[in-house]
Amino acid sequence: MGPSAEHTNRSALVTGAAGGIGQAIAKRLVADGFGVSVADLCSSAGQLEALVASLGGPDVALDLLVDVTEAASVEAASVEAAVAAHVGHFGGLDVMVANAGLAVTAPLLEITAKQWQRTMDVNVKGVLHCYQSATRQMITQGRGGRLIGAASVAAHRGGKSQSAYSASKFAVRGMSQSVAQELAEHQITVNVYSPGVVHTPMWEGIDAEMSRRRGTQLGSEMAGMVAGIPLGRLELPTDVAGVVAFLASPEAAYITGQSIVVDGGMWFS
């Protein structure tokens, strides 16, 4: 699919893009005609390079090493540095997809302070840093923009052994609603996407931990969740990418402060 007239010369930065949902989002946005920076941790450098090559090279994609917990510092991997590199390559920034995140599966009495803090640092502070850095650039440009954050069905209803994860995603949802009101005057929309059970490495990790705790076969916990999904299958990263592509499109220009649940009908909100 080639670039459409509406998307020509538009660009997006996607964090957590080395695999899973982030990679699917990057691929979809490139297909829709965006120039896209794919950003992830230094440990994912090889995956990012391969992704850029598969997307068509530096004319349409740029790989960036970033730790979203770093807002701005002397470190090259800060979010501020990533935005600057993106703008230097593409000439501006129209869409920020704050997708990077992690999940800790642990009961209330077992979760450690370190696990809790790491979850908040990546899932909440990381989104905050992305929103702040992108907003500064978008206001300077004066042509509006889109901030799109990663929430979850866990941002709408908590689940067992997901207290840290759910708390972090509720925070992202609330923060995005507030920021949407602040930035409306700049024609910057702010929305989040809330996936359900997606067949990604993160959910495989959740399955592994739940299987270990319950003494069940690896993969059985995730498979068992299909029974609770009315559409009868696990979610794919491309299912989420389609929603993000819509939020980044001209058709979503009048949508802000919303959380779009894409979960196959698991939970209604």
* Active site members: 165
Phi (first) and psi of residue 19, to 5 degrees: -160, -175
16, 151, 194, 232 from 154: Cα distances, Å: 19, 8, 8, 20
CB 16 within 8 A of CB 26: no
What single letter denotes the amino acid at residue 46? G
**Pairing of β 61-65 and β 35-40:** parallel
CB 38 within 8 A of CB 22: yes
Residues 135-169 as b/e (b if ≥16 CB within 10 A, e otherwise) read: bebbbeeeeebbbbbbbbbbbbeeeebbbbbbbbb
Exposed, middle or buried, 31 (CB in 10 Å: 0-12/13-18/19+)? Answer: middle
